[in-house]
Amino acid sequence: MVFPYPLPLVPVPVSATAEEGRMPVATGFRIAGPAPAATQLIAAIERRSGIRLVEADGGAEIVLRVDSAVAASEGYTLTVGDRVEIIGADDAGLFYGFQTLLQLLRQDEDGSWGFLRAQIADAPRFPRRGVMLDVARHFFGVADVKRFIDSTSALKFNHLHLHLSDDQGWRIEIDSWPLLTERASASAANSDPGGFYSKDDYREIVDYAASRHMIVIPEIDLPGHTHAIGVAYPDLVEAPVLGDDLVADSARLGQPLPVSGEPYTGWGVGHSSVRIHEDRTYDFIRDVVRELTEMTPGPYIHVGGDESLGTPQADFDLFAARVTQIVVEAGKTPLAWHEMGSAGDIAEGTVGQYWGGTTAEDAHAAEAARFVARGGALIMSPSNAAYLDMKYSPDFPLGLDWAGTIDVQTAYDWDPTAVLDLPDAAILGIEAPLWTETARTWTDVEQLVFPRAAAHAEISWSPRAAPERSWESFRERLGAMAPLWKAEGISFHPSAEVPWSAR
């Protein structure tokens, strides 16, 4: 089997040397190393090839170990010669090392399996490599979220942002405000079924993500995108603001307009707001943040802040200052969409998430820069390159196109430090969000996410100046992912831009 580039790996490592031949692998080969890494690798190799390894204390063909001296945090070295040795700088590095090993596992024409021989040294470019799943527009259960964690952590993503509330539904159990799930969780976009995560469900997701070295970031979108809160507690939310754009878009799409106290199943934005001058609103937010904090070991609580089109700027400024401070008082770092940077007194250290274009408009750039000026940093999610819910092409049946169409090359050809005029150190990394207005099934989700998530994985992990960091190299290496994704049951979109491998 001959590949046009030295090693068919995504994301491309910092340093990789291909060597002649393969190391054969067969049932009964031994693996030695710490759990859960050894257990996870055994299961993954069996799914990929049908070959079952056995755990051993020594004399193994595959050896896993941790040594902080080999690389920076999350880094690893991988050697495939007469045996395999993966050394992680930490447990996460060991996990990422065996994800790379799985990509080296190849089947020959005679049906035998082997690892491509190589020497690899690797570590991430950015500490923050995220994906977002919107479970508010359409709800997806625990099993689906676990699948999402498996498939994205395999690409070395390490943060999962769950968009848990929006106009269409509320998705997380809050003991102190029980009507949120009793009255506001059953609805979804397109009048599809809703749902919610019990606290045990949420903890199960958090624990599962941690086992794959992913940090969960819960988001409660505020002060806009809050119509569902008003379905449960009408006294917390203002009457909908029915702007001309909302009315026109609803008519064009054949969707209903929002009505106070009734579930909203359309896609329109900007019509809702919590009551910013009511003390009870902040009692509600404190309770929600407190209960999320109790269940969330990660450092962030995301408080939204986007598309509050019906909220006067003075009210928005007041709200932004109060909500970010509530998160700080709960012991977490507030995270918000970049519009919240328009408020002068957001809490020190608040992290912004930029979703403007790769060519930043002045207003959006100024809002994003405010987070840095206040001692925070930025996560880059430019909507015309990183949004996974945009169509691949104008005729693609899924997705939207308000930010443009995003084929795989467009998803690949951008850089997080080149969008805004800020120091590189101000950029924590990236996030690729999936909004789910049009994603009604799990197959829809995977079609939109894969293969574009692989492009974002390489952008966030691999050095910008690496020799193989080019579209021509990437598309060939990406094509070699097809057998692995098929073995894992991932329903990826077979874009014609990519030469997909059959073996």
CA distance linking residue 314 with residue 321, whole number of Å: 11
Task: Decide: 46 and 24 in contact? Cβ < 8 Å.
Answer: no
Q: Which two tokens stand for residue 183?
A: 């009255």
> Count of CB atoms within 10 A of residue 423's CB?
9
As beta bridge partners, residue 226 has none
pLDDT tens sequence for the chain (503 residues): 455 567 999 999 999 999 999 999 999 999 999 999 999 999 999 999 999 999 998 889 999 999 999 999 999 999 999 999 999 999 999 999 999 999 999 999 899 999 999 999 999 999 999 999 999 999 999 999 999 999 999 999 999 999 999 999 999 999 999 999 999 999 999 999 999 999 999 999 999 999 999 999 999 999 999 999 999 999 999 999 999 999 999 999 999 999 999 999 999 999 999 999 999 999 999 999 999 999 999 999 999 999 999 899 999 999 999 999 999 999 999 999 999 999 999 999 999 999 999 999 999 999 999 999 999 999 999 999 999 999 999 999 999 999 999 999 999 999 999 999 999 999 999 999 999 999 999 999 999 999 999 999 999 999 999 889 999 999 999 999 999 999 999 999 999 999 999 88
Q: Which two tokens stand for residue 311?
A: 């909220």
pLDDT value of residue 4 = 55
Give the 3-state DSSP-derived string for 27-55, with helices as H, strands as E and coil as C.
CCCEEECCCCHHHHHHHHHHHHHCCCCEE
CA distance linking residue 420 with residue 359, whole number of Å: 8
Q: Which two tokens stand for residue 221?
A: 């979108």
Task: Decide: 228 and 165 in contact? Cβ < 8 Å.
Answer: yes
Domain boundaries, the chain: 15-122, 128-461
Reduce the DSSP state of residue 457 to 3 states and report it: helix
Cβ neighbours of residue 211 closer than 8 Å, sequence gap 6 or more: 36
Task: Decide: 57 and 33 in contact? Cβ < 8 Å.
Answer: no
Instruction: Identify the CATH number of the domain defined by range 128-461.
Output: 3.20.20.80
Q: Is 476 a catalytic residue?
A: no
Task: Decide: 439 and 148 in contact? Cβ < 8 Å.
Answer: no
Task: Decide: 431 and 381 in contact? Cβ < 8 Å.
Answer: yes
Domains 15-122 and 128-461 share a fold: no
Fold of 15-122: Chitobiase; domain 2 (3.30.379)
Strands 76-80, 84-88: pairing is antiparallel
Measured between alpha carbons, how far apart are the two ends of the chain, in Å?
Answer: 9
CA distance linking residue 104 with residue 13, whole number of Å: 13
CA distance linking residue 317 with residue 256, whole number of Å: 30
Distance of CA 189 to the CA centre of its chain: 21
pLDDT value of residue 3 = 55
Query: Rounded to the nearest 10 degrees, what angle do helices 91-104 and 37-49 cross at?
Result: 20
pLDDT value of residue 466 = 86
From the list 19, 46, 204, 307, the catalytic residue is 307
Short-list 380, 467, 376, CA closest to 418? 380
Short-list 140, 219, 272, CA closest to 379? 219
Cβ neighbours of residue 170 closer than 8 Å, sequence gap 6 or more: 136, 164, 180, 181, 184, 185, 196, 228, 229, 232
As beta bridge partners, residue 80 has 84, 118
Ramachandran class of 186: left when φ > 0, alpha when ψ lies in -120 to 50, beta otherwise: alpha
What one-character DSSP code corresponds to residue 35?
Answer: T
Q: Which two tokens stand for residue 403?
A: 């930010």
pLDDT value of residue 1 = 46
